[in-house]
A and B are shown apart, each in its own frame.
Chain A
Amino acid sequence: MNFQHRHVLGIKQFNATELNFILDTAESFKEINTRKIKKVPTLRGKTIINLFFEASTRTRTSFEIAGKRLSADTVNISGSSSSVVKGETLEDTARNIEAMHPDIIVMRHGASGAADYLAKRMSCAVVNAGDGTHEHPSQALLDSFTIRQHKGKIAGLKVAIVGDITHSRVVRSNIDCLNKLGADVWLSGPKTMLPPGIERLGCKLAPSLAAAITDADVVMMLRIQRERQGKTLIPSLREYSRYFGLNEFNLKLARPDAIVMHPGPMNRGVEISSAVADGPQNVILDQVENGVAVRMALLYLAAGGENLVED
């Protein structure tokens, strides 16, 4: 398999073979995370800059650990300490960082398309750690990795994704990834949170939460991002929880062996009840654990793409 990608900007750029290749590569790295000495010299001498314009402890830490376990030198630049607050443009920030010759920039940014923007202007590899409401490829890959781990396959599974679809980059990447890997993806959420034409990305809109969950192999609950929405999308968290929250009762509609996923951080009692979040079907911490292996794979492939043809 000839992996020909310089950057990791979104699931959109990969076909099924490449997605499986990334997951297989992650499988190799997963073993390292259980060793006593959790470090390999693969990216020795490489510099990775984690450029996070949005706060994200989880993703940033996961990328940082991934880089360190590969022996890369990782540097974190966060939005609050970056020059953006001083009014510098993203282009100038990018140029300044590039002048320091990093090998990989991992970027989280609030604007959709920011990763594409950066990749067009950088000679180093760019890994998208989430851009606006566009893509979050590493999250989708770790989700697929976790599903594969528990189900042994992805093709043919019914995956229900529930929540604020409009404002979720996780969903866009997941629909594309799961669709390419052959899953049957169903969405559910209040209609105020379902963007027009979303089904064209390769999913179906369930008429109700129950319809989405029924016989699902995987139930993925999305975080209700309070900071993202005005007061017009849902009347209250209480009502949201009542009609779109996952609890031990409606989870019974899913297959008995269904797994429950959440990209985190969870709002317990809103989109997911504590009973489910801590219940036997949850694989939420596996997602976190697998995130490191998947991100190691992405960093390795991005660094290895150094002398490849530009995308």
Chain B
Amino acid sequence: MAIETTEILDRSSVQRALTRIAHEILEHNKGTENLVLIGIRTGGDYLAAQLQKIIAEIEGDKVPLGTIDITMYRDDLGSRSDLAMGQTDIRFPLGDRKVILVDDVLFTGRTIRAAMDALIDLGRPRNIQLAILVDRGHRELPIRPDYIGRNLPTARNEQIEVEFNDQHIPVGVSLIK
């Protein structure tokens, strides 16, 4: 079977989606007070950095940014061939913060479950909100994003790939059949 790649979002569409998400976050939280951005490695951390930049452009405020690696919280140890582990880098307390958890693609929801467990081990945020660039459906857990770049119904065996350039700037989203 030949691999077929279809571009869903180009670079400027991704940028527009992120700008809209930034506005929604600010609207919903009435500004940047107590707000923090935490991106899930890898992909979510790059998008969180983009959101931080856009929010700074809008509000003039640099929201604290952290990254989280969820490998230690995964529930599939032993069925993975890749045991590589990234690092969590959150240099501020999470207590009473409004955490915007950022990931590129929302699929089964298991990654988000792991990320929430990881966050809660680090502190007790006031709330956790979820920002997603692409929601492709097929949830296996009761998880619902608060901010969505694009809803994209997919078949289970298809893949969604968010591409980044060398500066970690998103340049497009593709569907791979």
Q: Which chain A residues have a beta carbon within 8 Å of chain B's beta carbons?
A: 1-3, 21, 24-25, 27-29, 31-32, 35-37, 39-43, 70, 300-301, 303-308
- The reply to whether A303 and B77 contact each other, CB–CB distance below 8 Å, is yes
A27-B87, A40-B73 provided; 16 other pairs, C-beta below 8 A?
Answer: A1-B82, A1-B84, A2-B81, A2-B82, A25-B84, A28-B69, A28-B72, A28-B85, A29-B85, A31-B87, A35-B121, A40-B72, A42-B77, A300-B85, A307-B79, A308-B81
Cα separation A305 to B79 with both chains bound (whole Å):
9
Is the CB–CB distance between B73 and A41 below 8 Å? yes
Q: How many A-B residue pairs have CB under 8 A?
A: 61
A292 to chain B: closest CB distance in Å? 14
B142 at the interface (CB under 8 A from A): no
- Docked complex Cα distance between A31 and B90 (Å): 10
On whether the beta carbons of A42 and B72 are closer than 8 Å, the reply is yes
Query: B31 near A: Cβ within 8 Å?
Result: no
- With an 8 A cutoff between CB atoms, is B10 at the interface? no
Interface size on B, residues (CB 8 A): 22
A304:B72 contact, CB within 8 angstroms: no
CB contact list, B70-96 vs A, under 8 A: 71-74, 77-88
**CB interface residues, B 50-86, toward A, < 8 Å:** 69, 71-74, 77-86
Shortest C-beta distance, B83 to chain A (Å), equals: 4
- Whether A3 and B73, one on each chain, are in contact in the complex, defined by CB atoms closer than 8 angstroms, is no
B122 and A35 form a contact (CB under 8 A) = yes
CA distance A31 to B88 in the complex (A): 8
- Whether B86 and A304, one on each chain, are in contact in the complex, defined by CB atoms closer than 8 angstroms, is no
Question: CB within 8 A of A28: which of B71, B77, B78, B82?
Answer: B71
Residues from chain B with Cβ under 8 Å of A31 in the complex:
87-88
* Chain B hits for A1, CB < 8 A: 82, 84
Q: Which of A32, A39, A43 contacts B77 (CB 8 A)?
A: A43
Q: B117 an interface residue at 8 Å Cβ cutoff? A: yes
Output the least CB separation between A83 and chain B (Å). Answer: 30
Tell me the complex Cα distance, A299–B120, Å: 24
Binding site for A on B (CB under 8 A): 69, 71-74, 77-88, 117-118, 121-123
Select from chain B the residue with minimum beta-carbon distance to A41.
B73
Residues of B contacting A306 in the complex (Cβ-Cβ under 8 angstroms) = 77-78
Q: Are B72 and A303 in contact (CB under 8 A)?
A: no
Question: A37-B121, A40-B73 are known contacts. Are A25 and B83 too (CB-CB below 8 A)?
Answer: yes
Distance to closest chain B CB from A25 (angstroms): 5
- Please name the 6 residue pairs, one residue from A and one from B, whose CB atoms are nearest each other, closest first: A306-B78, A40-B72, A28-B85, A42-B72, A304-B83, A28-B87
Instruction: Give chain A residues whose Cβ lies under 8 Å from the Cβ of B80.
Output: 304
Distance (Å) between the CB of B68 and the closest chain A CB?
11
Pairs across A and B, CB under 8 Å, 18 listed: A1-B84, A21-B84, A27-B87, A28-B72, A28-B87, A36-B123, A37-B122, A39-B121, A40-B72, A40-B121, A42-B72, A42-B74, A300-B83, A300-B85, A303-B78, A304-B83, A305-B83, A306-B77
Query: Which residues of chain A are near B78, meaning CB under 8 Å?
Result: 303-304, 306-307
Q: Nearest A residue to B69 by beta-carbon distance?
A: A28
Chain B residues, Cβ within 8 Å of A42: 71-74, 77
Question: How far is B69's CA from A32's CA once the two chains are assembled, in angstroms?
Answer: 12
How far is A36 from B124 in the complex, measured between Cα atoms in Å? 12
Q: When the two chains form their complex, are residues B77 and A25 in contact, meaning their CB atoms are under 8 A apart?
A: no
Give the CA-CA distance A126 to B123 in the complex, in Å: 35
Among B79, B85, B117, the residue within 8 A (CB) of A41 is B117
Report how far A308 CA is from B72 CA in the complex, Å.
19
Most buried by A among B78, B80, B83, B117: B83
- Which residues from B are CB-within-8-Å of A29? 72, 85
Cα(A43)–Cα(B80), bound, Å: 14
The chain B residue sitting closest to A38, CB to CB, is B121
**What is the CB-to-nearest-CB distance from B125 to chain A, in angstroms, rounded to a whole number?**
14
A206 to B83, CA, bound (A): 40
Task: Output the least CB separation between B38 and chain A (Å).
Answer: 14
Chain A residue at smallest Cβ distance from B79: A307
* A2–B86 alpha-carbon span in the complex (Å): 15
